[in-house]
Amino acid sequence: MSPELTTILMIASLLVLLAGFPLAFGVGTVGVFFGLLTSGSGYLYMIGPRVMDGILSEYILAAVPLFIFMGNMMQTSGVAEKAFKILHRWMSGINGGLAVATVILAMIFAATTGVVGASETAIGLLAVPSMLKANYSKSIASGSVCAGGTLGILIPPSIMLILYAPMAGVSVLQMFAGAVIPGALLGLSYITYIIIRSAVNPSLGPALPPEERLRLFSKESLVSGVKYLFPPLFLVFMVLGSIFFGVASPTEAGAVGSIGATVLGLAYKGLTWQSFKENCYTTIRVTAMIIFIAVAASLFTGAFLSAGCGQVITDALLGLGLGRWGIFITVLLIILFLGMFIDWIGILMIIVPIFSPMLLTLEFNPLWVGLVICTSLQISFLTPPFAYSIFYLKGINVGLDLPEMYRGIVPFVGLQVLVVVLIILFPQLCLWLPKTLSG
């Protein structure tokens, strides 16, 4: 069977199976079937070495469960609730203040966990009832939570960056440093949009009555800030600072962060033995899911590349005559399209091994390429029909309907696209901090 026909059949089979099977089963099944079809029984002997000496041999993967546990602990032990209450009262005097507080909280807790689901669920349970009680527009309420929640997949310590780095042969430390400015730009763009929109139409996000506000520089305000905001911010600084300044590896910093989050839970008296066990179980489940998908994707890409399909894709794109920038934009459009249907882990594990070699031959900076791709993948959480961020929020049943939620995320998708365009036009937004830290 020719590589061209194999390419068509593998992609078509993958799309068909993903319509009715879990991601790992669909990807793994296609990989094993076509591996046997194109390489014969010898493919079976390649599976073990490929999996064990490939993705599972990466030491950096040990950081994944540590950061997941750290984030779960921060969100279930009362830290998030107390931080939101103080931000809530600080911002309640301005139009759209509660939505702004929601995005700020999302940015803080994005820096404690590398996954979206748990972060968005916790923030949604805290923020949406407060905003609806204050007569906020449901579109503003849902958009701020959904968009803010997606920051957890980009702002370090991001699981996406940890998985991407070894596959593309770039440093996790540089990926973490490079994602700081894009992540901050996204958060600031959300805040700016909310403030401007609420100033133009105050009914979308009315300010709270004076008796519910808290003056920023009052004694009560300073005490509450030191008590409830300083500890989680200090933990974030300690974890990320130790990584950026070379004091600890990401895995070591994840271990310190897990211990620190547990200590905070004990200090705030929000940690119980039952919640500790649930956090451990959740960490194991999420980590196992990520590893299972990674192994399945490794089987798929192994069969795909060994059959010559990667070269077929490369030749097809180069033959379009689009130039290097046209090819790069085409790859991004493919990623955005797949993001409407497939979870980001599957996209990352399948797309990166196939397209990275081609983009390197076109002389793109591999670090910059990775950060643009990871920032673009954030959009997949908000784009229908499978907008995972919307489904996470709908799943906690906080009184929002799907049509309202879809309307609410549209402006935030536009802001995400804008930030992607900015880091494409101005690469130093991604490359300045990594260069500064390494220099």
Residues of the chain with pLDDT under 50: none
Residue 142 near residue 148 (C-beta atoms within 8 A): no
Q: pTM of the entire structure?
A: 0.85
**Whole-number Å distance between alpha carbons of 327 and 243:** 34
Query: How far is residue 107's CA from residue 86's CA, in Å, rounded to a whole number?
Result: 15
Q: What's the pLDDT at 430?
A: 92
pLDDT at 117: 66
Domain boundaries, the chain: 23-438
At residue 212, the pLDDT reads 66
pLDDT per residue as tens digits for the range 299-311: 888 888 888 888 8
pLDDT of residue 185: 95
Query: 165 exposed, middle or buried (CB, 10 Å; 0-12, 13-18, 19+)?
Result: buried
Measure the CA–CA gap between 132 and 399, rounded to whole angstroms.
9
Pick the closest to residue 142 from 415, 406, 437, 334 (CA basis): 406
Q: Quick one: pLDDT at residue 43?
A: 65
pLDDT of residue 328: 92
Q: HEC profile for the chain?
A: CCHHHHHHHHHHHHHHHHCCCCHHHHHHHHHHHHHHHHHCCHHHHHHHHHHHHCHHHCHHHHHHHHHHHHHHHHHHCCHHHHHHHHHHHHHCCCCCHHHHHHHHHHHHHHCCCCCCHHHHHHHHHHHHHHHHHCCCCHHHHHHHHHHHHHHHHCCCCCHHHHHHHHHHCCCHHHHHHHHHHHHHHHHHHHHHHHHHHHHHCHHHCCCCCHHHCCCCCCHHHHHHHHHHHHHHHHHHHHHHHHHHCCCCCHHHHHHHHHHHHHHHHHHCCCCCHHHHHHHHHHHHHHHHHHHHHHHHHHHHHHHHHHCCHHHHHHHHHHCCCCHHHHHHHHHHHHHHHHHCCCCHHHHHHHHHHHHHHHHHHCCCCHHHHHHHHHHHHHHCCCCCCCCHHHHHHHHCCCCCCHHHHHHHHHHHHHHHHHHHHHHHHCCHHHHHHHHHHHC
- pLDDT for 187 equals 93
Task: Give the CA angle between residues 94, 120, 161 to the nearest 5°.
Answer: 115
Q: Mean pLDDT score of the chain, rounded to an integer?
A: 83
